[in-house]
Amino acid sequence: MADECPKCPPAGAPLWLATFADLMSLLMCFFVLLLSFATMDAAKFKKVAESMENAFGVQKDIVAVEIPMGTSIIAQHFSPAQTKPTPIEEIKQSTNQKATKLDVSVEDMEEVKQKMLQAKIAEIEEQADNIEGSLEQEVGEGLVSVETDGLKIIIRINEKGSFPSGTAILKAGFEPVMEKITAAVNNTKGIVHVAGHTDNIPISTDWYRSNWELAAGRAVTVADFMLKKNGTDPNRIVVEGYADTKPLVENNSASNRAINRRVEIIITQEDPTLGLKADDVSKIIQTDSLEDK
């Protein structure tokens, strides 16, 4: 038998041709699938987009007007057989919807604060007038004075008729005045500061080593009298002694020094605007608007 020619190719297709044919078939199927997936229903896509737009970021239940029907795109285009709708799980975003709020500006906030402060100051001035009316005789005699300073009511007990010079013991006959003052303080709200003050003349006795001890001793005497009466809350009382550090007038004459020797009962009421939030301001604005109507 003659030898075969080494230059002639073997009979049949080459071995790599089968692998190449499989690869080409797979690529064709892949591109066919891509083409089939790229075909979509524009109307349905628009509805899905609108549904997602309304769902994301909105804190409320979305009422479904129309339930979308699931269909198979491949079956619709390539299969003559009838397809069944695909069930779709309905997902709702369930949260508690907050009440509608008004946008509160900085100007609105300041205006509401000013109105609240003015109303509180008017209330405090009315309370001070009532206290002054209950102490009308004592005020007329110069034993006591009543005034306001913002959110404070100041009941000033002068040294005249209350304390002997250089002592912290109440004069006999001043107890009825203290009872009226105690009753007036108990009828108000707020922290009660009992502060003692002296003039600038130094004192050094067996009882009091300095004006600090004398001022604090007089404040303690007044606070102790108030605390012994029924209805006085000890948690409200704060005792302070200032000696001659907070004079009302200059200590340049005997009459001025007599004015500076005093015990002050300062009733400090809470600022109504502390802790005020935008929600509270919004409610106040809504209430005011309703009242105006």
CA dist 189 and 34 (Å) reads 80
> Do 70 and 143 belong together in one domain?
no
User: Same structural domain for residues 117 and 64?
Assistant: no
> Do 168 and 239 touch, CB atoms closer than 8 A?
no
pLDDT in tens, 185-211: 999 989 999 999 999 999 888 888 999
Is 255 inside a domain boundary?
yes
65 and 161 both lie in a single domain: no
Range of the domain at 130: 106-268
Instruction: Please name which of 229, 267, 234, 263 lies closest in space to residue 246, comparing C-alpha atoms.
Output: 263
Residues 123 and 207 in one domain: yes
The tally of domains found in the chain comes to: 2
Q: With respect to residue 88, please indicate whether it lies within any of the assigned structural domains.
A: no
Q: What does the alpha-carbon distance between residue 82 and residue 133 come to, in Å, rounded to a whole number?
A: 97
Answer whether residue 35 is part of any domain: yes
pLDDT one-digit tens code per residue, 47-106: 777 777 766 654 455 555 555 555 555 445 545 555 555 544 444 444 555 544 555 667
CA atoms within 13 A on the CB side of 185: 31
Task: Based on the fold, state whether residues 114 and 248 are members of the same structural domain.
Answer: yes
> Do both 21 and 129 map to the same domain?
no
289 domain-assigned:
no
pTM over 0.75: no
Q: What is the CATH number of the domain that holds 187?
A: 3.30.1330.60
